[in-house]
Amino acid sequence: MARPERIDAVLFDFDGTLCNTEVENIRLVQGVLRRMGAEVSLEELEVLTGGEDRVTVPPILERHHVDGTIDDYERLRDDCYRTYAEAALAMEPGAIEMLDDLRARGVRVGLVSMTVSRCILTALARLGVLSRFDAIVCGDMVSRRKPAPDPYLHAAELLGVEPSACVAVEDSPTGIASAKAAGCYVIAYTGCDIVQDVSAADEVISTYV
């Protein structure tokens, strides 16, 4: 897909794209599964990155013969969201300057994350960047999550722009599929610790600097 001649908005994923939270989240998920009786390696858990828990977690529970259900997992996983409230957070190098530059040029800036809003809003406030986003879409704001196009379509609607005039920045196959299904031009960011298959993206970058 060719980059749009006119870019009205840039829509960013958060985890693993603007903020390197993925590894810490995986460690916390590992702890949840341990409490459920499963000893799962970090490598095996990388499949969860950017995915939908109700799709990716049940096979892990089955492989490790865990008696608990996905509902049990999700109840315990709520503890993991302390990552956003307590862990040391930092934006990726150059990310804040890039957001400021986009806004200075009149480009709308949106955030499209499947993490729930209470966690994202807490993280953005702690990072001091909440006011830099013109629209924020989180996992509890849409009925269909990534890889469905709904999150990106909703963000474009909130911003009053056409998806075809949006650039999405993502780090996961699930996020890339969602943005492309919505009609966005997709840039994959590979600068965080966990690098995934981003071959479906229209463009790949490894730094914001």
162 in a structural domain: yes
The H or E element containing residue 137 is strand 135-137
Task: Select from 59, 86, 113 the last residue of a domain.
Answer: 86
Kindly give, in sequence order, each residue whose CB lies less than 8 Å from that of residue 86, ignoring residues fewer than 6 positions away: none
Amino acid identity, residue 81?
Answer: Y
* Total tally of structural domains belonging to the chain: 2
Residues with Cβ < 8 Å from 41, sequence gap 6 or more? none
Q: In Å, how far are 36, 39, 52, 109, 183 from 15, measured between CA atoms?
A: 25, 24, 14, 16, 22
Structure-block tokens of residue 141? 């704001």
Same domain, 35 and 97: no
pLDDT at residue 4 greater than cutoff 90: yes
Region 37-57 average pLDDT: 79
Check residues 54 and 190 and name the one with the higher pLDDT: 190
pLDDT of residue 85: 85
Q: Which is the catalytic residue, given 8, 15, 150, 171?
A: 15
72 as an active site residue: the answer is: no
Could you count the other beta carbons within 10 Å of the beta carbon of residue 21? 23
Instruction: Decide which of 50, 66, 86 is a domain's last residue.
Output: 86
Q: What's residue 182's pLDDT?
A: 99
Say if residue 191's pLDDT is above 90.
Answer: yes
Residue span of the structural domain in which 133 resides:
9-20+89-205
Q: Which of 163, 187, 52 is nearest to 114 (CA)?
A: 52
The conformational region for residue 37 under phi > 0 = left, psi -120 to 50 = alpha, else beta, is left
Say if residue 154 is in the same domain as residue 52. no
Same domain, yes or no: 56 and 125: no
Same domain, 135 and 195: yes
Q: What is the pLDDT of residue 158?
A: 99
Q: Is 150 a catalytic residue?
A: no
Span 68-88, mean pLDDT? 81
Average pLDDT over residues 50-62: 82
Say how many Å lie between the first and final Cα of the chain, rounded: 24
Looking at 57, 86, 115, the residue that finishes a domain is 86
Q: Are residues 96 and 157 in the same domain?
A: yes
Residues 184 and 130 grouped into a single domain: yes
Q: Among the listed ranges 27-31, 81-85, 203-207, which one has the minimum average pLDDT value?
A: 81-85
* 77 is a domain residue: yes
**Residue 163 and residue 60 share a domain:** no
180 in a structural domain? yes
Decide if 13 is inside a domain: yes
Are residues 93 and 178 part of one domain?
yes
**What is the pLDDT confidence band of residue 80, given thresholds at 50, 70 and 90?**
low
CATH no. for residue 101? 3.40.50.1000
Comparing CA positions, the residue from 188, 174, 200, 156 lying closest to residue 7 is 156
Same domain, 190 and 104: yes
Counting Cα atoms < 13 Å in the Cβ hemisphere of 100 gives 6
Which pLDDT score is estimated for 134? 99
